[in-house]
Amino acid sequence: MTPSTHDSQPEPLVFNDTAQVGVVMGSASDWETMQHAVDLLKTFDVPYDLRVVSAHRMPHDMAEYGAWATHQGLRAIIAGAGGAAHLPGMLAALTAVPVFGVPVASRYLRGEDSLLSIVQMPRGVPVATFAIGESGAANAALHVIANLATTDATLAAKLASFRQQQTDAARAMRVPT
Ligand code: AIR
């Protein structure tokens, strides 16, 4: 019997086997938000695997991704999605790799739906959930970097310098009167 499109198995995915961190999003339309996470991983030279995985449109791929994340020994997954944002939670269900969830702003509910979908996980399957939008994406990456830095002195030094520059920039701010 020919399987229906819904049941069909995709071709095996091709992953970046040098990745320490996975970055996934439910749609290419999430990229405007999620690029702020990737920019920081690039700045800190953290190797990552980047792809679209939709929990609802690509459920088999999501399961394959979860298995790969475990096999690869990823240190973290940054997962962004909008609306009924089930991707971060389902990845947390599929792998013990820590998941950092980014609620992407949705059109009608402005991301409050995404935030609640990601943050309200059942006990036992945590997702570390960040703010809605680009600040959340950036902070998810910075939090991953801070975790990696606890066992990587070079990364720790880079993070300290990043924080110092941020402090200097804030101190140099003047009220535009
Ligand atoms: N989405 C995609 N599959 C499952 C979900 N929840 C989300 C995407 C995106 C939103 O639906 O993460 O934020 C709209 O996607 P699109 O492709 O219609 O622009």
Q: What is the mean pLDDT of the chain?
A: 95
Q: Can you point out the beta strands (E) in 26-97? A: 48-52, 76-82
Residue 19 has pLDDT above 60, yes or no: yes
Residue to mutate, 23, 27, 87, ligand 1, most ligand atoms under 8 Å from C-beta: 27
pTM for the whole thing?
Answer: 0.94
The pLDDT-based confidence of 12 (bands split at 50, 70, 90) is confident
Instruction: Give, in words, the CATH class of 21-169.
Output: alpha beta
Averaged pLDDT, 34-39:
98
Give Cα 148 distance to the centre of its chain.
15
Of 119, 122, 75, residue with least CA distance to 101: 119
- What are the Cα distances from residue 129, in Å, to 60, 79, 125, 142? 24, 10, 12, 13
Residue 4 has pLDDT above 80, yes or no: no
> Does the Cβ of 83 fall within 6 Å of ligand 1?
yes
